[in-house]
Structure 1
């Protein structure tokens, strides 16, 4: 069967399976729009509750097409829904529209502005080069995941809060709820391999912070950690850690890589690296952008890498032009001095006397 046939049959069978398990629930289908993706979903809401569970039917159809038995697919979906019900956070629905109760739960994320253009029309956001800063209320967070609500234009209108106030509160709360964590790549590798940093040193990995050529920035739970880019003090915090200017590589929406701008890697090399990793290693829903960014720690400027290169070229051209202009003035003065020096002394004296005489006549 095709997807439309599957969707209709799947919805009925899941609803019947839940009823057989003694679970009365309302089942509906709709399109779920999320950052970086949208999908056809089945929303299952227990009787007497306002909070439901979304099931991505496209994923289950894919499993069916890849050879998984249809009954097994239905059973798996029922298990996911039951697990979702069991792990749902307790939510005071009335509090969801009370900004005074919700503002302390504000966090920030950064997403691709191009990939989420339609969604951004519906949510308050701040542009950040070719990215956009969006806001969420974090309802619950634990080892199994987190529950959040994307802040929409409609929601803040209901709450009676402006986008400006929302942003100001998020800038204050997000770094407290999700503090930025910056680690050297050697430290990250040690954690991934389950070894100590001393073991890595014996394996030839650099352990001196001054030797680190790459750093990883995220948040403690490593979920949507690229949002640290929007934190007020993050850029200066990173500059202090890496020792000056740096490039930013958007590894994913969950983390970013920081590369010191020390001349070891060119912008074109870094851009090629980001594009290759995004094309081969990053899931589409986790992709941030293909761009590389730069932070000038002296001028306090965050910008696209290409803008930085252009700004530097203009700056160097301006310095050269200024030096050339100064050189021209000096050359002109020297030429005049040489010309005067070559004149006969008598002629020079006569010119001086005539000059004084003319001034006297004017008086």
Structure 2
């Protein structure tokens, strides 16, 4: 089996043979690409007239080549060629570099401060205990998903604004870009079945239905996310969200960091302890949540009267 380094080099040297002649003079590069919670080798094929191009995750392709029967090098080449040709990201750089335009496309994400500490050294952010709020510019959004750019210190300097101004504008704009959504855990699981988002097999569908039945016996968890249900954990920190949840519950409540995609909230009515909830989060993270989607093993508590969010 070809080693990963050779795999990347072979693709870098040969991918143009699978691309149209218009890519004859394109620049092909492979480099470390850092995102929140993960680092991977990324392949980029950039024509002279393109400002931004997709970064293709070589780690994922290599795993498919290793583990999936029938995946050949030729099929890898053709998959990459399809992505390069069919999904170019054409961006007006002014929409990113001109803050008067970019601020209308700002939104926040939440990640683990510890996991991303090296990256955060070069990124404007605010801490909520051991969670980090970072700021992003939405480049494009359609049925295929959201493309965005993480704002780093260099870009903030070019904007000529303070980190406080960036935070204020992003918090104001996030609910429009990534609208918040709150629902019961059971309702969300039923929605997944009805929409068949995961293309479930009959066995998988039965397992999820069983989970719904079991959840009826569990404490009343609510899910805080965004309408897209992707990178939705940050919705918890939208303006007045913490206080509004407290008004709905009429009491203090716990927050469980389910993943980067959602937070679980639970009224603090004395029926379950913080230690029990922490054990639950730790187990779920270890067995159900991919490393790139984990937040922390901590549980948080919100005091409605004091407006105080803290680690339990």
TM-score (norm 1): 0.76
Question: Are the equivalent residues in 2 in contact too, given 1:44–1:81 (CA < 8 A)?
Answer: yes
Q: Report whether the alignment pairs 1:297 with 2:304.
A: yes
SS of structure 2 residue aligned to 1:238 = helix
Tell me, in whole angstroms, the C-alpha distance in 2 between the residues paired with 1:162 and 1:95: 19
Q: 1:34 to 1:204 in 2, by over 3 A?
A: closer
Question: What is the alpha-carbon distance in structure 1 between the residues aligned to residue 176 and residue 295 of structure 2?
Answer: 23
Report the equivalent of 1:237: 244
**Correspondence for 1:48:** 49
Tell me the number of residue pairs that the alignment of Structure 1 and Structure 2 aligns: 293
Distance in 2 (alpha carbons) for counterparts of 1:244 and 1:126: 26
Q: Which residue in the other structure is 2:17 paired with?
A: 16
Q: Is the 8 A contact 2:225 2:236 kept in 1?
A: no
Counterpart for residue 143 of structure 2 = 143
SS at match of 2:23: coil
Structure 1 residues 276 and 93 mapped into 2: Cα distance closer, same or farther (>3 Å)?
same
Q: More deviation in 8-17 or 248-257? A: 8-17
Q: Aligned with 1:4: secondary structure?
A: helix
Matched residue, 1:327: none
Please state how far the C-alpha of 1:77 moved relative to its aligned partner: 1.8
Q: CA deviation at 1:245?
A: 1.0
Partner of 1:285: 292
Structure possessing the higher radius of gyration over alpha carbons? 1
Aligned to 1:271: 278
Contact 1:182 / 1:238 at 8 angstroms: preserved in 2? no
TM-score (norm 2): 0.88
Q: Which has the higher contact order (CA 8 A, sep 6+)?
A: 2
Unaligned runs of 5+ in 1: 196-202, 306-363
| Paired position in structure 1 for 2:266 | 259
Cα distance, 1:184 vs structure 2: 1.5
- Aligned residue in 2 for 1:76: 79
Extract unaligned runs of 5+ from structure 2: 196-212
Contact 2:41 2:59 (C-alpha < 8 Å) held by counterparts: yes
More helix by share: 1
- Aligned CA RMSD, in angstroms, stands at 2.3
SS of 1:223 mapped into structure 2? coil
